[in-house]
């Protein structure tokens, strides 16, 4: 039996905010029609930054890199090395194939990098330089020719840590530009910004909605909403560590769900007490408290199998497993963005440094997709080759009959003309081959 000893104060109905959508549509239209002038107007209005060009010069980029302390640069380069190493391992697992499926019939596929990628790196509230590693580096490992980045100013100025991270990750062009205007500029292109084929990277509700509306005109990595965390724990851990892992993600925003799923009611109640204690000393406690009050839950299950079923129902972005047997969940869970197995790891490791990508599915999207990875920047494209006349005729006879079954005479004739030429058979026009 599943029971809640703390329920969420608010329940999202899953509908899209119509007012937000209309606002974003208007901003996208302004940039599409107005180009650089519209970008400049919106950057002034929303970010308070006025520049003739929002592309940073080599001197500005070098200045940001030079401002890093030795420790800061070492830390950024260590994190980027981990992300790069794992992305390279993932890329190596993706193979081009070619196989002869019938005598004379060769089928294959190639993994082709997306040519032009635009990466958004959020930074208006916090300078989230880790997002530069996750998007830019991953696209570069995939082999994308041109990877450009947009990040908003921080406190009205160029964000030096983000710029340095973007540069060290390999960005080809770096823009100090945020919000919908950045997404629109990359997608539509302007007089000075060449358009991209794909957008990647997280952002606020306006950025996410802009990506949603632009999907189809350009590709996107995935639809991402507020950060989520699900902690699955039993009596092998205590309330302090559970509360710490819940609040560590709740501080992202007031609408970030943080859920504890446990077989121990005692642990659940202890975690609730620890959350209250830690909120009094956490510098971001005001935001985290709002998230906990509105979207925090503590759910108690009777069995481990119930934990698995409930976790798959929740389909959380981040799932931290701290139980006697974390492997049990890896073997059985199917709906999650990323799993953090055991008390020795934590979501923050994945967010910042361990190497797996932190751009992950939210709002139950883990039911049908994983997160950002090197494969998102690759197009798996098929090809076919028929090497012999005999093979063309053999396939063509089946094709002709199948097309006539569907009423597609023009399709059938594509097969029939080859049967006549390569098989020297007299198939009447518009008829099925024998």
Alpha carbons within 13 A on the beta-carbon side of 314? 27
How far is residue 341's CA from residue 316's CA, in Å, rounded to a whole number?
14
Q: Within 10 Å of residue 171's Cβ, how many Cβ atoms?
A: 28
381, 98 contact by CB (below 8 A):
no
Going by the DSSP 8-state scheme, the letter that residue 423 receives in this structure is H
Residue 223: both structure tokens together: 């639809």
How far is residue 196's CA from residue 182's CA, in Å, rounded to a whole number?
12
Q: Which one from 209, 297, 317, 397 is the annotated catalytic residue? A: 317
How far is residue 134's CA from residue 131's CA, in Å, rounded to a whole number?
5
What is the Cα 349 distance to its own chain's centre?
A: 17
The answer for residues whose C-beta is within 8 angstroms of residue 256's C-beta and 6 or more apart is 226, 227, 228, 229, 249, 250, 291, 295
Sign of torsion, CA 261 267 268 271? negative
Q: Within 10 Å of residue 34's Cβ, how many Cβ atoms?
A: 15
The answer for residues whose C-beta is within 8 angstroms of residue 271's C-beta and 6 or more apart is 233, 239, 242, 243, 246, 260, 262, 298
Q: Which one from 318, 390, 397, 411 is the annotated catalytic residue? A: 318
- DSSP element (H, E) containing 91: helix 70-93
Q: What angle do CA 57, 50, 117 make, to 5 degrees?
A: 50
* φ, ψ of residue 154 in degrees (nearest 5): -115, 120
- Please say if 98 is a catalytic residue: no
How far is residue 7's CA from residue 297's CA, in Å, rounded to a whole number?
5
- Please say if 167 is a catalytic residue: no
How far is residue 94's CA from residue 145's CA, in Å, rounded to a whole number?
19
Active site residues: 317-318
């Amino acid at each position: 039996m599943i029971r809640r000893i703390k329920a969420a104060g608010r329940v999202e109905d899953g509908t899209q905010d119509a007012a937000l959508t209309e606002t974003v549509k208007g901003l996208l239209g302004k940039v599409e029609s107005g180009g650089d002038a519209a970008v400049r107007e919106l950057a002034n209005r929303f970010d308070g930054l006025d520049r003739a060009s929002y592309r940073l010069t080599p001197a500005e980029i070098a200045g940001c890199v030079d401002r890093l302390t030795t420790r800061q640069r070492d830390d950024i380069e260590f994190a980027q090395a981990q992300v790069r190493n794992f992305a390279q391992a993932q890329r190596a697992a993706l193979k081009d194939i070619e196989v002869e499926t019938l005598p004379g019939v060769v089928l294959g596929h190639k993994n082709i990098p997306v040519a032009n990628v635009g990466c958004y790196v959020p930074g208006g509230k916090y300078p989230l330089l880790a997002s530069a590693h996750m998007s830019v580096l991953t696209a570069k490992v995939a082999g994308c020719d041109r990877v450009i980045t947009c990040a908003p100013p921080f406190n009205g100025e160029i964000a030096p840590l983000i710029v340095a991270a973007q540069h060290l990750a390999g960005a080809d062009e770096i823009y100090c530009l945020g919000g919908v205007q950045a997404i629109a500029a990359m997608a539509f292109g302007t007089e000075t910004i060449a358009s991209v084929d794909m957008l990647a990277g997280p952002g606020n509700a306006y950025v996410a909605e802009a990506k949603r509306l632009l999907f189809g005109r350009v590709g996107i990595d995935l639809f991402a909403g507020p950060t989520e965390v699900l902690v699955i724990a039993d009596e092998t851990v205590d309330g302090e560590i559970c509360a710490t892992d819940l609040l560590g993600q709740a501080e992202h925003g007031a609408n970030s769900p943080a859920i504890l799923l446990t077989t121990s009611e005692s642990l659940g109640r202890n975690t609730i007490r620890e959350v209250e204690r830690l909120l009094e000393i956490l510098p971001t406690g005001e935001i985290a408290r709002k998230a906990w009050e509105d979207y925090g839950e503590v759910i108690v299950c009777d069995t481990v199998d119930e934990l698995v079923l409930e976790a798959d129902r929740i389909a959380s972005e981040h799932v931290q497993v701290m139980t006697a047997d974390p492997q049990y969940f890896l073997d059985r869970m199917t709906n999650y963005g990323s799993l953090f197995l055991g008390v020795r790891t934590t979501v923050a490791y994945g967010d910042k440094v361990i190497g797996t990508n932190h751009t992950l599915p939210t709002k139950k999207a883990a039911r049908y997709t994983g997160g950002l990875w090197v494969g998102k920047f690759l197009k798996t494209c098929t090809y076919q080759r028929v090497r012999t006349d005999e093979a063309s005729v053999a396939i063509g006879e089946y094709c002709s009959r199948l097309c006539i079954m569907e009423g597609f005479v023009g399709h059938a004739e594509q097969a029939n003309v080859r049967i006549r030429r390569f098989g020297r058979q007299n198939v009447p026009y518009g008829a099925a081959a024998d």
